[in-house]
Amino acid sequence: MGGRNPFLGTPDVPPPTQPYRLVIVAADGREHTIDVDPARVPCSGHGRPGSILDIALAHGVAIDHACGGVCACATCHVLVRTGGGSCNPPSDEEEDQLDEAPGLTPHSRLACQCVPSGAADVRAEVPAWNRNAVREGHG
Report the CATH number at residue 58. Answer: 3.10.20.30
The continuous run of DSSP H or E covering 123 comes out as: strand 122-125
- Please report whether residue 135 resides in a domain: no
Local confidence band at 134 (pLDDT 50, 70, 90 cut-offs): very low
Q: Is there a domain that residue 101 lies in? A: yes
Residue 48 located in a structural domain: yes
Residue 132 covered by a domain: no
107 inside domain: yes
What lies within 8 Å, CB to CB, of 24 at 6+ separation is 31, 32, 34, 52, 56, 61, 63, 78, 124, 125, 126
Judged against a pLDDT cut of 90, whether residue 128 lies above it is answered with no
Number of domains, the chain: 1
Q: Is the pLDDT of residue 8 over 60?
A: no
Confirm whether 136 is domain-assigned.
no
By mean pLDDT, which of 27-31, 42-46, 124-128 is the weakest?
42-46
What would the pLDDT profile of 50-76 be if each residue is shown by its tens digit?
999 999 999 999 899 999 999 999 999
pLDDT tens digits, 83-99:
999 999 999 999 999 99
The residue segments making up the domain with residue 68 are 20-125
Instruction: Give domain status of residue 134, yes or no.
Output: no
